[in-house]
Amino acid sequence: MKVFLADGRALRYWSSATRGPIVLFFHGCPDTRRAAMTGADAASGAGVRLLAFNRPGYGSSTPTAFTQTSVAHDAAELLDLWDIDRVAVLGMSAGATYAAAFAATYPDRTTSLGLVSAPGPGEPTEESVEDAMERMRPEFMTWRARIDPEDEAEDDAALAARFLAELPEADAALLRAHDDEFLGDLVWEALIKPEGYLTDAALLLREWGFDPSTVRCPTTVWCGELDEKAVAASSWWAGAIPHAEDEMAPGTTHLAALLTQWPAILRRLGTATG
């Protein structure tokens, strides 16, 4: 589904068919709103409704320069179009920075915050976002060429197989539970345009432009036991958001921390929605 924001940009979104309080999901990188679809059954069990959208430059969401805070504003505009006042917020991987930015920017609209496999903070830099994107572009395009999302002669199964081959096997095995059409569509949306990924990556390398200490809502930081970077970053988040709680998922990797923990995550967020 697609809406048009006040500035004319298209925003592609998805909502689960379940009824209940809204959990607003911010996807990782490279990823899409379709990551939220893997939690549809868990949303039904938890009595919540998942809502997710593609950031600019992913799929058919109009490419434009963005920041964590500007994406938070896009999310608020989407909620306004739906006439939704308050939500729980969930971010996966790079999406955790956007989820935290929403909670910091809109404290009166955020009932609870969940961060899964969240990265550590960026560093001060004089390099512009645009220059960082161009510096990273050749390596990204080489990696993207191996997956080849533009090869229309191939079927979804072939595209999905090329993408899964690039992931840790533990994460790839969990995604194989979904059909080839779903995975093919996810990969196409994530990679057909380079702008979304490159902007996300450039933003992670610098200061984020919002203050996590201003987050007031109940906050949980989930990470997989085998995801060393996320485990290290979880301590930073717990210090940056003073009331945040840590949750370790035993024996899990980066993506698995979301895919195996959907029921627990949504139950936790759902109890704080209102």
Which sequence spans correspond to the domains of the chain? 2-270
* pLDDT above 80: residue 231: yes
Strand (E) or helix (H) holding 269: helix 262-270
d(CA 154, CA 166): 18
Report pLDDT digits (tens) over 19-41.
899 999 999 999 999 999 999 99
The two three-digit tokens of residue 259, written as one number: 């895919």
- What's the rounded mean pLDDT across residues 1-10? 96
Report pLDDT digits (tens) over 58-104.
999 999 999 999 999 999 999 999 999 999 999 999 999 999 999 99
Q: Which of 98, 92, 101, 114 is nearest to 46 (CA)?
A: 114
Report pLDDT digits (tens) over 144-203.
999 999 876 678 999 999 999 999 999 999 999 999 999 999 999 999 999 999 999 999
d(CA 162, CA 219): 36
| First CA to last CA distance, the chain | 25
Q: Answer yes or no: CATH 3.40.50.1820 is held by domain 2-270.
A: yes
In the predicted model, what is the mean pLDDT of the chain? 95
Q: Which residues pair with 12 in a beta bridge?
A: 2
What secondary structure does DSSP assign to 27-93, as a single string? --TT--THHHHTTHHHHHHHT-EEEEEPPTTSTTSPP----HHHHHHHHHHHHHHTT---EEEEEET
Higher pLDDT, 134 or 270: 134
